[in-house]
A = this chain, B = another copy of it.
């Protein structure tokens, strides 16, 4: 657990990042909810603030007065035990509070948190410290959501606005050849172990899990590889798709990953947070759904790994890769060291369900993860929009199989017979 001092500096750093992410936005951009799955940037900024207000200031800061009596209604995301909340699909209709008022809300909560930190230094309270750390990880999750949602919001505008026109660009023109990491069969331990380090409830308890021998790709599938699938009519062959996926394709006739565009000459482009770019064949394919990842794996004669297979391999790899901190906000071609973390969340073949013996966080925080354990798939590894110090080997991300506005990619696996 972090010391009060480092917790306070961590708090300042994390809170500042959220605002730095929003700095390039126009007031109007803060307002958009392009699909029901996304939220307006303004809403994210307020919601993470409400989280500190609700879980820390109200119960733990003496004499704290809530900033606005209706912000609970507006900025509670989904905590049923904390009262009714504004319906998610209508977040984009909230012109008020204005962006300025939301920043004032942030500032007021930050000031109150300063007082809470002071109180904590006098009277340490491990439970409060743990909740602050939870609040910080929560805000970091929303920083990634901010980037995903901003990308989508911008993509639906025919003017094709650009979030950051001076986003660094790598110009790497090759990829490491795919190599297979071999892992012997055996009984492995899975899940969060180091109790001195923060983790979500859904990563525990640590438990044995048997795995047969398998190979895991040391890098993600590239755009060039995915194009071969497309050119082989991958999107048109029912035999490659799950039944639910094929049904979904009939309603949403996808023919390529989200954000790809083709011009009249057949040249492919990709919309990025730095604007429209030539599709780089060496970069990992990005913004694919589970359904597409699964179909690609079937087409290429491999399969997606389970989350256990991924965790076992990456657990002893150094936690390094192309994270948010690197500033590219876009996946990069794999380098010699392999691509074990960062760049893109890799879909796994594992449905998101509790580990044996799972116990939710106490109180309303128990709604943080547990109640979403149905109909979703686990993704692993972090991405270029994830903060490095938010990441762990045991981290379980999860999305619906049809979702693809997140930074998601494909890692392959196969059995060793």
> A residues within 8 Å of B by Cβ?
26-34, 42, 70, 73-74, 78, 80-81, 86, 90, 92-99, 153-154, 156-159, 161, 187, 207-212, 238-239, 241-246, 290-291, 294, 306, 349-351, 353-354, 356-357, 367, 371-375, 401, 415
Contacts and interface: CB of A to CB of B under 8 A. Distances in A.
Nearest to A372: B243
Most buried by B among A93, A156, A357: A93
Nearest to A153: B95
22 contacts: A27-B27, A28-B28, A28-B31, A31-B32, A34-B93, A74-B159, A80-B246, A81-B238, A92-B92, A93-B153, A94-B159, A95-B157, A95-B161, A208-B212, A241-B371, A242-B373, A246-B371, A291-B374, A294-B374, A349-B353, A357-B415, A374-B401
For the complex, would chain A's binding face be called helix, strand, loop or mixed by DSSP majority?
mixed
A46 to B, nearest CB: 12
The 6 closest A-B pairs by CB, nearest first: A80-B238, A351-B351, A28-B95, A243-B371, A210-B210, A27-B27
A96 B353 contact: no
How many copies of the polypeptide does the oligomer hold?
4
A354 B156 CA distance: 37
B350 A350 contact: no
A114 to B, nearest CB: 27
Given A74-B158, A158-B73, A244 B375 contact: yes
Nearest to A377: B374
